[in-house]
């Protein structure tokens, strides 16, 4: 069974991140990801970037379910935090 910290590390291995927070119960995980890699990408492309990078873990069921709650650029994240 995975821990949120392990899922966080998996995400950080896919793309460089300024911030990652993962919560979950060992089966279902919820992630907030902030990365400069998202610059110029639409929401779906951002999610696909992460999911494609974790395809092997998802296919093998090592990572059962990942819901990306936030996929923001640093500027978007800063604006959201200020609001």
pTM of the model: 0.95
pLDDT tens-digit readout, 13-49: 999 999 999 999 998 999 999 999 999 999 999 999 9
Pick the CATH number of 4-69 from 3.30.70.141, 3.30.300.90, 3.30.160.40, 3.40.50.1970: 3.30.300.90
Mean pLDDT, range 52-56, rounded to an integer: 97
> Domain segments of the chain: what residues?
4-69
pLDDT at residue 77, rounded to an integer? 97
Beta carbons within 10 angstroms of residue 51's beta carbon: 13
Q: How many helices (H) and strands (E) does the chain have?
A: 4, 3
What angle do helix axes 43-53 and 4-14 make, rounded to 10 degrees? 110
């Amino acid at each position: 069974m995975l821990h949120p910290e392990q899922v966080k590390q998996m995400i950080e291995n896919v793309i460089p991140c300024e911030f990652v927070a993962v919560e979950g119960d060992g089966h279902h995980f919820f992630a907030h990801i902030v990365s400069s890699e998202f610059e110029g990408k639409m929401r779906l492309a951002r999610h696909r970037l992460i999911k494609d990078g974790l395809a092997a873990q998802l296919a093998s069921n090592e990572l059962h379910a990942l819901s990306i709650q936030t996929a923001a650029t640093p500027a978007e994240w800063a604006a959201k935090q200020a609001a």
